Amino acid sequence: MSLSIKNQIQEYDPEKRFAYLSIAGMGCSNCGARIQAALISIQGVSDVIIDHQAGLGQVTYDPQLVLETLLVQTVNAAGNDGHHHYEAQLIEFPDW
């Protein structure tokens, strides 16, 4: 599955925001699934797309319930099993 970042105009919804993440450490599709499951378990996150090959993630969330820093922390914690180590950073886009 290919993840395209900001390639479509999305309708404005005040209860929905998109966070884009650069994620290091994903070696296979299972890593992507592990991170996706961790993120989707957060109350207020409604959709997660992970492209493990590109090292990218897109998260749809309610900004009244979720801080973007929690998304980064959740990805980083998803690898705390002694075998995996993930490191996420928010991708900032300039105002369009």
pLDDT in tens, 11-42: 567 779 999 999 999 999 999 999 999 999 99
pLDDT for 79 equals: 83
Structural domain boundaries in the chain: 17-90
Q: What is the pLDDT of residue 62?
A: 95
pLDDT tens sequence across 51-91: 999 999 999 999 999 999 999 999 999 987 788 899 999 99
* Amino acid 29: pLDDT: 94
Task: Supply the CATH classification number for the domain 17-90.
Answer: 3.30.70.100
What gap in Å lies between CA 76 and CA 8, rounded to an integer?
28
Distance CA 33, CA 49 (A): 9
**What pTM, to 2 d.p., does this model score?**
0.82
Res. 2: pLDDT tops 50? no
Structure tokens at 1: 């599955």
Angstrom CA distances, 39 to 7, 83, 94, stand at 22, 19, 25
